[in-house]
Structure 1
Amino acid sequence: MQHLKYFTILAIIFHFQLSNADLQFFYKTEKSEEKDTIFEGEILTVIFVTNNNQDVECQPTYKSIVTVSKKGSDNSSETICAVKGLRLGEEWLQCVDERNPSELPTRVQVVVIRDQDFIDKIFPFYVTAIVLLLNVVFGTEVSLKDIKFILLRPKPLIVAAVCQFVLLPPFGLVLARVFDYEPDVALGLVMVACAPGGGNSNTASFLVGGEVPLSISMTFFSTAIAIGTMPLNLWIYGRFASNDPNFTAETIPYFQMTRTLILIVIPVAVGMVLISKAYKVTSRVMRYAKPFVFVLFLTFICTAIYRSRFVFQITPLKGYLGAVLLPIGGFLIGGIGAWCLGLRASQTKTISLEVGMQNAGIVISMTLVVFSQPKADLNSIMPICIALLTAAVATPLYILHYLVYKYNKRYRKICDQNKEAQLMEREMFEKTLIKEDVDPIDNGAMEEGSSIGESSVTGSKDEKQCQRTDEL
């Protein structure tokens, strides 16, 4: 009797473990492959095996990636479900025994990917080549003298960096949580919020009367700083991008992103070296290279729109709202930050555009190179929308600046005074460099006398210019 008692207890424990164990299942596609990945429109068969001849009920998590329907089976211990892929994404089916719905569900992963054509296959390499080439061209627009000029007046640079890498990332996280995006889409939005400024802010600064040299320098420094700040911000905020239980921030490849950013900064440095060491040859080549790059860039836009047509098919209205609000928020954060520190209007406009126009192209390139499908496509949805809609948001700013400058005398006077102040700052900086290059100790007595005379004249001019700058 004692042995029978122990046997009964063991049987009850064994039955309890079986009844609460995960369901046994395996996959079968239309091509008879046992895998969890299918193309859009393809049907995946999931066969469940139970030890108690019970039916299995499956419900999708997101409702829009796949559809699930039951199929009959000759074997009473099997339940066959047909899962059809509707659009790309990662789905988790929640499956339970119908007779024991209170048990913890078994999670069954289903991955839906797009059928890759020739353009899809070469696009990651094409994007990388375009980004590298554009950064070489961008580097030729930055000289060491410009960098030194900005470093000696670092306030605008510091304001832009704080707004861009300290204030904008949490704002992007707030947008992702408020609109409750799917995990990969939310991560794409946060990635853009953590990215450096884009080269399009340089053109925008020119169109609205900003300071183009300052814009170029800020773009260069933000790209260099992003090597460390972008992975750090993603580590801080990426884990909170989504409250979806299927999202794990540990899968974000921080090291690979850092390596990609380094590869992007190197061409900028190459362009700077070329323009400083071989100015004549580089300038001659760039006269022909820039139209070529412009045509290449237009080709890239057309190719990107064709390749990214799936984005317009699956992006909901709230996705476009987030893509519009991020640059608008960046404009406001940068503008308010510069205004609070008392920077002049032209600097305020430049910083505002630099913070609001993030380099979504870098993020798209990173997602295609770093992530596998379908994460690469899903993470690029928001960067693509932001890249397209940022121009739409900035266009009214160009029009507003043109109209106000033309019809408002006070605003026109402020803009003209800002231009004059920029020129005077630059002239004084150039004269300072010339003075530093001349060593008065090595000069002769006559040269010393002449230099003293020249310096007195120059000093009086500088005093007048300083006084004029203070008045402005």
Structure 2
Amino acid sequence: MACPVKLLIIFFLEVVTSVICTLQNASTTGSSKLSITAREEFPYSIFEKEVKSLLFDISQNESENLQIRASLLDTKYAEIDGNATQSVMGGSRTNISVKVKGVFLGRTWMSLQVNKAGQSGRADDGQYDKPGLERSEEQSEWYELPEKYAISVRRKDGVLSHIFTGLVIVLVCVANVAMGCKTELQVIKDVLRRPIAPLTGMFSQFVLMPMISFAIAKMLNFDPVNAFGLFAMGCSPGGAASNAYSYLLAGDVSLSVTMTLCSTVLALGMIPLWLFTFGEMVIYDTDVKIPYENILTSLAGLIIPVGIGLLIKWKLSRVAEKIVWGIRPIMIIFLILVFTLGIYANLYIFDLMRDKPEILLAGALVPYLGFIFGGIVAFIARQSWKNIRTIAIETGIQNTGIAIVLLKVSLPPPDNDISIVPPIASSIFTPIPLVIAIIAHETYLRCFKKKEKEELQLSDTTENGHSEEMKENGVKQIHYHQLDGSDSGDEKNHVQAVV
């Protein structure tokens, strides 16, 4: 047991040290008796190209005059409009106004710096924090105050942007209705009777893909908002496109449809679960709060159409057939709108991609690694090559439509605009290896398989020619039979011809 006298001495020394530090801080920070209070609440939000005045109340009790100037950490997102330096008379109570102009959507921080004549000797007294400031003769008396003011610049959504967002929501809902209409429940029951393949696919979709997207976001040092967008996409499996790719690449379409339906329904619980656990870790160092209620509402609004489609399929089969038939022209119209109206309304996304090329890399890595590891997991589970192709396709293809709607509707600005960039980048890169595989598969079918078919037809023609020749010679048929083992070897393959 420790000596009481020793513990008492240690406690006394700690108290004395604390008092000395407090007095030193009071002598340094309180010597100027400067008090700055912001009137606005921070983080403060402004629009692009908008100028806002931020007011600060200044209280300075000494007789010496002060100069105060504002600076921004990153002028790419916002800049100081007008004169950034203002004077404060000694012994006065006044306020200063700092004009800030939004430049581009994002987040930055503003700090205030103080210049007081005769204070250059305090450069190393610990009174002010000076990150990033180089000591020169002109800057030797400027010191940065420790308080930082967060400023977020948001994009002003125009009419076209709202129209495009509405079209995306409508399309995803219509696609989910169509998916329900073309789903054969009996086929799904048959697939689920052998659950190894769908369970393997569910593991790849809901465990493997979130971990891959999380690891890539950490590996590339994504900022919290983009990391959250990439992770949300990795948690959103399925999509009607995977069924078409499975068909074109000779996969198991029944398994593909079953996995798509199951993943869409399970997403209602799995996506919030992942975002509540690893999602918090992704954005732990930001003030953004995950709006789980909005996410659940968005997912419910996107999954309910699947149930509506199933109900239509069950009660109105003819109507369901018309809906499935009509989804193709709707998709064509939507793609035209995406590559015209969508690009024009969201040109900022290309600026973000240009400034952050790691987003493009992540957009390619997530689906490509999904294809590879999904196939490996299916191979380990001893699935057929047909099922391996299907599970690999279902794993790598993410439902970027659900991810974009979820992020766009749920997150506050500017995070809703920034976070959708990784899903869009992924939607650009995902089809590339699939299209290459389809071309290779079709080439193989048209060239090598065609040659095999021609050889088979030639063989059939030759056999038919021999048959005709035997008929001309009066041979009706030939019987082959094995003789007993007691016979000689030459008689084991005895041929009897019937004339």
| Same-fold status (TM-score > 0.5) | yes
Alignment-derived partner of residue 209 in structure 2: 168
C-alpha separation in 1, matches of 2:68 and 2:396? 50
Does residue 124 (structure 1) correspond to residue 165 (structure 2)? The answer is: yes
Task: Return the offset for 1:242.
Answer: 4.7
Instruction: Say which of 245, 251, 265 aligns to 1:224.
Output: 265
Task: Return the offset for 1:208.
Answer: 1.4
Instruction: Say which of 33, 42, 45 aligns to 1:37.
Output: 45
Does residue 344 (structure 1) correspond to residue 381 (structure 2)? The answer is: no
User: Which stretch shifts more, 265-274 or 81-90?
Assistant: 81-90
Instruction: Say which of 276, 290, 304 aligns to 2:327.
Output: 290
The DSSP-based 3-state class of the residue aligned with 1:276 is helix
Alignment-derived partner of residue 415 in structure 2: 375
C-alpha separation in 1, matches of 2:376 and 2:351? 36
Does residue 85 (structure 1) correspond to residue 97 (structure 2)? The answer is: no
C-alpha separation in 2, matches of 1:20 and 1:379? 43
Q: Structure 1 pair 376/22, CA: closer, same or farther in 2 (3 Å)?
A: farther
Task: Return the offset for 1:142.
Answer: 0.6
Q: Deviations over 1:319-373 (max 9, x none)?
A: 1111111111111121110011111111111111111110010011112222232
Task: Return the offset for 1:197.
Answer: 1.4
Runs of 4 or more, structure 1, over 6 Å off, are 10-17, 19-22
Task: Return the offset for 1:36.
Answer: 3.0
Gaps of at least 5 residues in structure 1 are 1-9, 29-33, 414-472
C-alpha separation in 2, matches of 1:72 and 1:91? 19
Does residue 24 (structure 1) correspond to residue 40 (structure 2)? The answer is: no
Q: After superposition, where does 1:209-220 map in structure 2 within 5 Å?
A: 209-220=250-261
Alignment-derived partner of residue 311 in structure 1: 349
Task: Return the offset for 1:269.
Answer: 1.5
Matched-pair contact (CA < 8 Å) for 1:71–1:79: no
Task: In structure 2, give the amino acid aligned to 1:131.
Answer: V
Task: Return the offset for 1:46.
Answer: 3.6
User: Which stretch shifts more, 256-265 or 222-231?
Assistant: 256-265
Task: Return the offset for 1:260.
Answer: 1.7
Instruction: Say which of 135, 145, 148 aligns to 1:107.
Output: 148
Q: After superposition, where does 1:314-393 map in structure 2 within 5 Å?
A: 314-315=352-353, 316-393=356-433
C-alpha separation in 2, matches of 1:129 and 1:293? 11
Alignment-derived partner of residue 65 in structure 1: 77
Q: Deviations over 1:216-253 (max 9, x none)?
A: 1111100111111111111121122256x3x146x111
Task: Return the offset for 1:271.
Answer: 1.0
Matched-pair contact (CA < 8 Å) for 1:72–1:79: no
Does residue 206 (structure 1) correspond to residue 247 (structure 2)? The answer is: yes
Alignment-derived partner of residue 189 in structure 1: 230
Matched-pair contact (CA < 8 Å) for 2:68–2:87: no
C-alpha separation in 2, matches of 1:22 and 1:142? 68
Alignment-derived partner of residue 295 in structure 2: 257
Task: Return the offset for 1:117.
Answer: 1.4
Matched-pair contact (CA < 8 Å) for 1:57–1:97: yes
Task: Return the offset for 1:285.
Answer: 5.1
Q: Structure 1 pair 21/148, CA: closer, same or farther in 2 (3 Å)?
A: farther
Q: Structure 1 pair 72/22, CA: closer, same or farther in 2 (3 Å)?
A: closer
Q: Deviations over 1:165-207 (max 9, x none)?
A: 1121121111111222222111100000111212111111122
Matched-pair contact (CA < 8 Å) for 1:141–1:216: no
Q: Structure 1 pair 405/291, CA: closer, same or farther in 2 (3 Å)?
A: closer
Alignment-derived partner of residue 440 in structure 2: 400
C-alpha separation in 2, matches of 1:144 and 1:132? 20
C-alpha separation in 2, matches of 1:163 and 1:196? 10
Number of aligned residue pairs: 394
Q: Deviations over 1:10-55 (max 9, x none)?
A: 9999777757987323469xxxxx9933222333444444434544
Q: Structure 1 pair 14/368, CA: closer, same or farther in 2 (3 Å)?
A: same
- TM-score, scaled to structure 2: 0.71
Task: In structure 1, give the amino acid aligned to 2:351.
Answer: Q
Matched-pair contact (CA < 8 Å) for 1:173–1:240: no
C-alpha separation in 2, matches of 1:390 and 1:22? 55
Task: Return the offset for 1:107.
Answer: 2.0
Q: Structure 1 pair 149/91, CA: closer, same or farther in 2 (3 Å)?
A: same
Q: After superposition, where does 1:266-277 map in structure 2 within 5 Å?
A: 266-277=304-315
Task: In structure 1, give the amino acid aligned to 2:146.
Answer: P
Alignment-derived partner of residue 7 in structure 1: none
Matched-pair contact (CA < 8 Å) for 1:65–1:112: yes
Q: Deviations over 1:136-182 (max 9, x none)?
A: 11111112102101110111111111111112112111111122222
Q: Structure 1 pair 68/397, CA: closer, same or farther in 2 (3 Å)?
A: farther
Higher helix share: 1
> Identity of aligned pairs, percent?
27
The DSSP-based 3-state class of the residue aligned with 1:229 is helix
Larger radius of gyration: 2
Task: Return the offset for 1:278.
Answer: 2.0
Task: In structure 1, give the amino acid aligned to 2:105.
Answer: L
Task: Return the offset for 1:96.
Answer: 5.0
Give the superposed CA RMSD.
3.2
